[in-house]
Structure 1
Amino acid sequence: MSSTLVTRWEELRELTGGGKRHRAAVDEWLATRPAVLYWGDSWFSTPLYPNLARHSAWRIDGLRMIVGKPGATAADLLSARSVAAMMDRLQNNPFDLLAVSAGGNDALSERLQQVFEPWMTSKPPKLEPEDAFQRLVDHKLFERLASRYRHLLQRVQLDVLPKRKHFRVISHTYAPLLRIGQAGDLSIPNIGLIAILKDDVGPWLYGPMKKVLKDSAAAGVFARHLLVDGFGTLVLAAMQREFAGLFTYSDLAAVPELAEPAAWYDEIHPTGEGFEACAPHLNAVLRVALPAAKRAAVG
């Protein structure tokens, strides 16, 4: 076998299926190479340019698979039904590791409009970023996100670890936003005819929050609280403590390249180069999570 990247379950079946002799050859090849499944939102699945999952996968000699949906929320991606289907996939395929990208979209657009509904329909006094963030905490946004991750990890414990004790799950934070209010350039010259089918180009955070906060600078502070103090600390760090040994995450908030506006494509997505700068940080966590015999195959 050669190092392979697939994006459809049919491709995976063709690659790993067949008779006992072929499956034995696959298992032998994977003895020193990882099988990694990337599952997530647009940071893993955007079709616009090479995303984080692709840059990560290109640095790995092994079996790599990417599935997901741009714009996916954790509420959808990690729903009970979706997780149950994923457990069946994981039980019946030779994956060593599941990389998850989910949670960033759960506090954008419609959800912000719901939390801050009075500001959408009337004009109460503008909030300070810290007060706006506390409203999200009080609305139990992060508790719900943590419960989604908890359900996934509990199912992995019950369904996957008995068959594959070395199996691990990783995730990543999002980075503080620098191009607040910047919509994506989804024009035909930029991304081709798929632009005709796109109807949401952002801004996903500042669209509603400009009615709540005094300016884009305040929205930037709010976004940092949302992504770092909220999702990073209250969700991912909490899950890492609760599921020590099974789950860990890569903190992309401190990637130096993402501190430059030029590394961002729009309000919530880095450019291809920005994602490329994140890949070594994600892979450093991924490498440690793998069995020792497979770590050398991760660049």
Structure 2
Amino acid sequence: MPRSQSVLVPRVGQFKDTYHRIKRDKRFKDVTPIIFCEGDSWFSTPLSMNMLDWLVYAPPELEALGVPVFGAGGLFFRAEESGYHASANPKNPKASMFVPKNIHKLSGWYKHHEFDIVLLSAGGNDFVADFLDKTFKGLQPMSVSKAFREIEKSGKFKTVYEAYQAFVGAFLDIRPNVPILAHTYDYPRLLGKRAEFTVANLGAAAIFAKGTGPWIGDRIAHVLPDTKDQREFARMMMDGFTENVLMPVKKKFKTKGRFEFVDLRGILTKDTDWFDEMHPTGEGFRILAEVMRVRIGELLPEGKRMGVL
């Protein structure tokens, strides 16, 4: 057995009992980070080790050495689901994170447990797939800058910003001193490449699953037929999300609480870093997780930072 036993990994249903056991045990009470997680497929995709998996599980080589990932272990409340939108999802209302019903549900968990940090991964799904279909329906080929102006005209940035600020505001009302950490998305490279489920990456469930996507390339090919233009358009959307959603949310709450975000743009610059249009490979997620890990370590209470690598 590895010496560290570094991380406890319950899903929501197991969280409550484990939380109370940690709080009663002096060995773990003051050194175990309690971490709240809500997010999309960057925290939940089953295609490989996703970004949150790399934060939760010790890499095999470190586990073998007995090196802890988060101090004496971290307890993660994991509420993330693939395909969820930050704002209301018109096609599937249940797949919406920062809406009143879900905020109310998650606030119930949050107010009754002493979390040390909140991790968010949200907003990418709001700007792809059905949204792009609707935005560019019936339009003719255009320049990349004009295509991006169509995104701005849609009002989607404002919609996602309002959803973010509703969630962040509700959580800071409960615990203003607990940091909330989100992230940008890196720039997509494999425009038009769909995700393929195989037995190797999804297990036996792959027999019943169909490939998914593309979420971007095919949706805008009639207005931006050149793949290079599609890639530049995706890049502009990622920048727009950062500048029109994350930055304004941080500014709004700078005197009320601690909302931060990690900038992951421009890190995964090779096609081989990506599994499909929107998801890095397992190794790609590991690279991004290491950037997240550094900021998490800086934001955790001092006594709970000792194992952060």
Mark yes or no: TM-score above 0.5: yes
Whether 1:105 aligns to 2:125 is yes
Residues 128/239 of structure 1: CA separation in 2 closer, same or farther (3 Å cut): same
Deviation at 1:4, TM superposition (A): 3.5
C-alpha separation between the residues in 1 aligned to 2:120 and 2:13? Answer: 21
**Which residue pairs with 1:289 in the alignment?**
299
1:241 to 251, 266, 270: 251
Deviation at 1:74, TM superposition (A): 0.7
More helix by share: 1
Residues 215/89 of structure 1: CA separation in 2 closer, same or farther (3 Å cut): same
**Which residue pairs with 1:80 in the alignment?**
100
Deviation at 1:6, TM superposition (A): 2.8
Do the aligned partners of 2:12 and 2:78 also contact (CA within 8 Å) in 1?
no
**Which residue pairs with 1:39 in the alignment?**
38
Deviation at 1:238, TM superposition (A): 1.5
Do the aligned partners of 2:46 and 2:201 also contact (CA within 8 Å) in 1?
no
**Which residue pairs with 2:82 in the alignment?**
70
**Which residue pairs with 1:220 in the alignment?**
231
Whether 1:211 aligns to 2:210 is no
Whether 1:17 aligns to 2:29 is no
Do the aligned partners of 1:33 and 1:297 also contact (CA within 8 Å) in 2?
no
Deviation at 1:57, TM superposition (A): 2.3
Residues 124-143 of structure 1: matches in 2 within 5 Å? 124=140, 126-143=141-158
Deviation at 1:259, TM superposition (A): 0.4
Residue by residue over 1:27-74, the C-alpha shift from the partner in whole angstroms, topping out at 9 and shown as x without a partner, is x62323311122111100011211000112233232223321111111
- Greater shift in the superposed pair: 98-107 or 57-66: 57-66
| Residue segments in structure 1 that go unaligned for 5+ positions in a row | none
Deviation at 1:169, TM superposition (A): 0.6
C-alpha separation between the residues in 2 aligned to 1:134 and 1:17? Answer: 51
C-alpha separation between the residues in 1 aligned to 2:180 and 2:36? Answer: 10
Task: Name the % identity.
Answer: 27
Tell me the secondary structure at the aligned position of residue 125 of structure 2: helix
C-alpha separation between the residues in 2 aligned to 1:292 and 1:23? Answer: 18
Superposition RMSD on alpha carbons, in Å? 1.9
Residues 211/15 of structure 1: CA separation in 2 closer, same or farther (3 Å cut): same
- Greater shift in the superposed pair: 60-69 or 192-201: 192-201
Deviation at 1:279, TM superposition (A): 1.0
Do the aligned partners of 1:178 and 1:220 also contact (CA within 8 Å) in 2?
yes
Residue by residue over 1:59-102, the C-alpha shift from the partner in whole angstroms, topping out at 9 and shown as x without a partner, is 32322233211111112011111111111111112311110001
Deviation at 1:159, TM superposition (A): 2.3
Deviation at 1:112, TM superposition (A): 0.6
Do the aligned partners of 2:273 and 2:283 also contact (CA within 8 Å) in 1?
yes
C-alpha separation between the residues in 2 aligned to 1:137 and 1:5? Answer: 43
2:120 partner letter: V
2:294 partner letter: A
Whether 1:115 aligns to 2:130 is no
Count of aligned pairs: 283
Deviation at 1:2, TM superposition (A): 5.7
Deviation at 1:200, TM superposition (A): 5.1
Residues 50-199 of structure 1: matches in 2 within 5 Å? 50-58=49-57, 59-60=69-70, 61-75=73-87, 76-119=96-139, 124=140, 126-161=141-176, 166-199=177-210
1:259 partner letter: T
Deviation at 1:194, TM superposition (A): 1.9
| Residue segments in structure 2 that go unaligned for 5+ positions in a row | 58-68, 88-95
Residues 266/134 of structure 1: CA separation in 2 closer, same or farther (3 Å cut): same
Tell me the secondary structure at the aligned position of residue 238 of structure 1: helix
Do the aligned partners of 1:30 and 1:62 also contact (CA within 8 Å) in 2?
no
Deviation at 1:130, TM superposition (A): 1.2
1:148 partner letter: A
Tell me the secondary structure at the aligned position of residue 74 of structure 1: coil
1:272 to 270, 275, 282: 282
Tell me the secondary structure at the aligned position of residue 82 of structure 1: helix
C-alpha separation between the residues in 1 aligned to 2:151 and 2:8? Answer: 38
Tell me the secondary structure at the aligned position of residue 99 of structure 1: strand
Residues 143/116 of structure 1: CA separation in 2 closer, same or farther (3 Å cut): same
Deviation at 1:204, TM superposition (A): 0.5
Q: Structure 1 length as normaliser, TM-score?
A: 0.88
Residue by residue over 1:112-159, the C-alpha shift from the partner in whole angstroms, topping out at 9 and shown as x without a partner, is 11111223xxxx2x1111111111111111111111110011101222
